Structure 1
Amino acid sequence: MSDALLLLPDFLLIVCGFLLCRYSALDRPVWDAVERLVYYLLFPVLLFNSIVRSPLEIGETLPLAGAGLGIVATGIAAAYALRRWPGVDAKLHASGAQVAFRFNSYVALALAEKLGGAQGVAWTALLVALCVPLCNFAAVYPLARHGGHHFWREIVRNPLIVSTVAGLVANLLGIRFVDPVAPMLQRIGQAALPLGLMAVGAGLKLGGLWAGPGLAAGLLGIRHVLLPLTALALVWLLGVPAAQQPVVVAFAAMPTASSAYVLAMRMGGNGPYVAGLITLSTLLGMASIPLWLALLRQLW
């Protein structure tokens, strides 16, 4: 199956969410509740369970981990540098900077299974476990500084950070869940991907981008050009195993996180602007991921 067809089921779920939100009784208030359910319960459980069940073989995963952290660090540095551009609005930058380096974990985990099966999901879960805390730290900081929020309070209350740290601790301590707890956690986590993708579609909107189109171009250029190029360089420099390389490149080319909108709204940022960035990033990511994977196969 081609890379484009691998993404088709996930893209159709996004389209389904878009159509349901606009042309059925399942309108915006319904999807606001779905977003909160996914963000505060379903997705944290998915992250926690995936990390707990994934063996952390340091020797085999060190290049993979280094590549993931290098990709995110590059995105954070480049996004923060855009603050120095002439004419950049401070509130827009604080709200939108996260779009350049955060990634849509729903799409990442759904695609990982198609690229590498259960092992691909385990590798992506490791990347998520390592990079979600770093991404959320970097996303919260400018919003907290601009909006007068307490940075560390926002960090310890972030469900994605809490669940990933808890999953890593449980994994390192060798904690495993038995029936009926293990199947229950797995089923809760499985609900996160389809509902999360449909919620992405329900939130698609472009109008807010007109508040800062130049900044939007810079942020999306980082997300969809600079980071995949960084991934191609890092898989070669760090000697990432061939089976893991598509996972790394797909991770770098992901659309931005749909939860960026929730974070911006909750911390007093410019929600419509972030919603526009998420919409365009989702469309760009669905189109460009197959191209970056094809380029990887041409190069190596």
Structure 2
Amino acid sequence: MIAVLQQTLPFFALIGLGWLAGRRGMFDAAATAALTKFVFYFALSAMLFRFSSELDLAQVIDARFLLAYLVPSALVYALATIVALVRRRGVLEAAVEAQCAVIGNVGFLGIPMLVLLLGTDAIGPVVQVLAVDLIVFGSLIVILITAAREGRVRLRTLGAVGLGLVRNPMIVSVVAGLAWAATGWTMPVPAASFVAILGAAATPGALFAIGASLAGKSAERLSVALWLSTCKLVLHPAAVAVSALLVFGVDPYAAGVMTAAAALPVAGNVYIIAQAYGVAPMRASTSILVSTVLSVMTFTGAMALLGRLG
């Protein structure tokens, strides 16, 4: 456990540094938003392009792997939804809470950290997890909220969801990287160096931005946030591990990467969606804050357990 903590602590220390800069006023909301845009549209996209350009399509489209992650994620999503409805929170709030229960910070935290901790072979499994989160659950919450408000699913809603996916830089960069890999061409040295230098900024930039964004979040509805954090940090990775190893028989290394990705704290884009639609944004914000703080120990513990299991 201590050995694993020594590996994960620097990543969380970068988040803490960003939080401290935000709390001291050295990095205000505008600066955090600018850094987030840089990481999202440039640094992280460059990292994803670089890694995916070294993959082939078979490494990112594995039906058994995708089902092994999707099925338990859907079950935890359904559980969080049912609990919210039993508490009479309504479909809109249930959709946000369910999103908190299963959508981890794979883009900003998972990709940089898991690749450095587990090696570049982790990028294929991580990209598949990211694809399920973005395409399935990222679309589902928009459809549920819109349908609940309008009483039906309009064609324009599906079109907007599809357009959003096409414009997502993480999806675009992965597709572009795979397309480059399919050509079999060697990337010119200046271009490869450019992508490597830009992509190297993704890890510190993303972690710092996460911390700075947390500085502006307040803790409300702690009991609900603790429940959703438990879903995200404990129930979700446990269900994914059982599904991958015992039900679908996924390769142990890929199953480990999948489980580690599932053990990540709630993603920041859940708050963005909740804020955009005006549905329980503070609940999402608190869940992100609480799950990120708790993940220092829970994620480290999950990594230590995976290490013992080989």
SS in 2 for 1:53: coil
Q: Which moved more, 1:54-63 or 1:273-282?
A: 54-63
Write the letter of the residue equivalent to 2:297.
A
Native 8 Å contact 1:206 1:277 kept in 2: no
Write the letter of the residue equivalent to 1:185.
V
Aligned: 1:167 with 2:174: yes
1:195 equivalent in structure 2: 205
**Separation in 1, partners of 2:68, 2:116:** 21
Write the letter of the residue equivalent to 2:198.
I
Native 8 Å contact 1:216 1:277 kept in 2: yes
Unaligned runs of 5+ in 1: none
Aligned: 1:209 with 2:220: yes
1:263 equivalent in structure 2: 273
Match of 1:152 among 155, 159, 163: 159
Q: Which moved more, 1:121-130 or 1:273-282?
A: 121-130
1:76 equivalent in structure 2: 77
Match of 1:247 among 257, 268, 276: 257
Structure 1 residues 1-300: aligned runs within 5 Å: 2-57=3-58, 63-88=64-89, 90-105=91-106, 106-145=108-147, 150-158=157-165, 161=168, 163-164=170-171, 167-168=174-175, 171=178, 174-175=182-183, 178-179=187-188, 180-204=190-214, 207-210=218-221, 213-234=222-243, 235-298=245-308
Deviation at 1:102, TM superposition (A): 1.0
Write the letter of the residue equivalent to 1:76.
Y
**Separation in 2, partners of 1:251, 1:160:** 24
Native 8 Å contact 1:112 1:120 kept in 2: yes
Fraction of identical pairs, as percent = 22
Write the deviation string for residues 39-86 of structure 1: whole angstroms up to 9, x where unpaired.
344434443443333234469955443333334333333333334223
**Separation in 2, partners of 1:164, 1:49:** 13
Write the deviation string for residues 213-234 of structure 1: whole angstroms up to 9, x where unpaired.
4543442222122112112212
Write the letter of the residue equivalent to 1:282.
T
Write the letter of the residue equivalent to 1:127.
V
**Separation in 2, partners of 1:50, 1:144:** 35
Native 8 Å contact 1:82 1:218 kept in 2: no
Deviation at 1:24, TM superposition (A): 4.1
Native 8 Å contact 1:93 1:215 kept in 2: no
Aligned length: 298
Runs (4+) of structure 1 exceeding 4 A deviation are 58-63, 146-149, 158-162, 297-300
Write the letter of the residue equivalent to 1:85.
V
RMSD (Å) for aligned C-alpha atoms: 3.2
**Separation in 2, partners of 1:33, 1:165:** 21
Write the deviation string for residues 15-48 of structure 1: whole angstroms up to 9, x where unpaired.
0100111214322221122223333444344434
Write the letter of the residue equivalent to 2:79.
A
2:153 equivalent in structure 1: none
